[in-house]
Amino acid sequence: MILVTGGTGLIGGEILRLLSKQGVAARALVRDPAKARKLPGITWVDGDLSKPETLRGPFAGVKILFLVSSIGENTVAVQQSAIEAAGAAGVEHIVKLSAFGASAHTKAPICRWHYQIEQQMEASGMKWTILRPHHFMENLLLQADYVKNEGAIYALSGDGKIPYVDSRDIAAVAAAVLTTPGHHGKKYVVTGGEAFSYREASQIIARTIGKAVRFVDETPEQARARRTREGYPPSIIESALAIAAYQRAGGKTVTITTTVADLTGRPPRRLEAFVQEHADAFRSSHDAILE
């Protein structure tokens, strides 16, 4: 039995869709039953990772756990409680969604959190696999309102190259790890097949929607102010600024792996295709009228 946490989220939801399509029965943990999607072979169970007392039933009989949760100040505590519940339930294998750059010395708090969780998981006595995805293509969608309203994309990463990866490819890698042998003790870095800067991404969006999109090369102060206006908490802002600084500097952040192709049998989705698929998100109603 496979248990997927975060089943109503971006990655978890796609994993469940893939497992259902493959005819693999699985259990999905959900805090709000109203958000559960009906999928053949998927059983939704009520539970909350932040409330350990709710996990005994959902974890009972589970052999493989996919672990993901929302990112916030309680991420470490929440995922540690899941690891403890898994150990108590006799779970044999945990597959954790971590982050590219997870380490003890990174300046990004969220990457330190993920590393801390990884360390606990590795010491748990259970088998484990770690997925470290790079920058999501979906992060570009967070700029959609700026594109529509200002014809601009903002980033602190400058001309640093980033191998954006589609969340669906991350989920496909996870589904492969959950359903095939040979992944115990592996740490997979999951990236797209090409690296682009935010400046180049803005040009791809511009060509796709037929509208000029300027790239705004932010200073750290400007990036911090923008993230604050957007309502992000301090630790997330610090993480975003640190990650962008690493991207700007290049080096390991330009790493491109073959993980998607190796584990799924197909190449990763291309950024141009992603932008084309989501073109309407970047178009304003005025753009639509002009067309």
Which residue intervals of the chain are DSSP H helices?
A: 10-22, 56-59, 75-89, 109-122, 144-150, 167-179, 198-209, 220-229, 234-249, 259-264, 271-277, 279-282, 285-290
Candidates 233, 287, 251; CA nearest to 110 is 233
Residue-wise burial string across 227-264, b where 16 or more C-beta atoms lie within 10 A, e elsewhere: beeeeeeebbbbbbbbbbbbbbeeeebeebbebbeebb
Quick: pLDDT tens for 55-78. 999 999 999 999 999 898 999 999
Is pLDDT of 290 > 50? no
Q: Residue type for 227, please? A: R
Rounded to 5 degrees, what are φ and ψ at 142?
-70, -15
Q: Is the pLDDT of residue 291 over 50?
A: no
**Full set of structural domains in the chain with CATH:** 2-133 (3.40.50.720), 135-165+191-254+269-291 (3.90.25.10)
- What is the band of 286 on the pLDDT scale with cuts at 50, 70, 90? low
What is the band of 289 on the pLDDT scale with cuts at 50, 70, 90? Answer: very low
* % of the chain beyond a pLDDT of 70: 98
- Read off φ and ψ for residue 171, nearest 5 degrees: -65, -40
Dihedral of CA 202/205/209/210: which sign?
Answer: positive
Nearest to 146 by CA among 243, 244, 227, 224: 227
Confidence grade of residue 272 (pLDDT, cut at 50, 70, 90): very high
Mean pLDDT within 82-95: 97
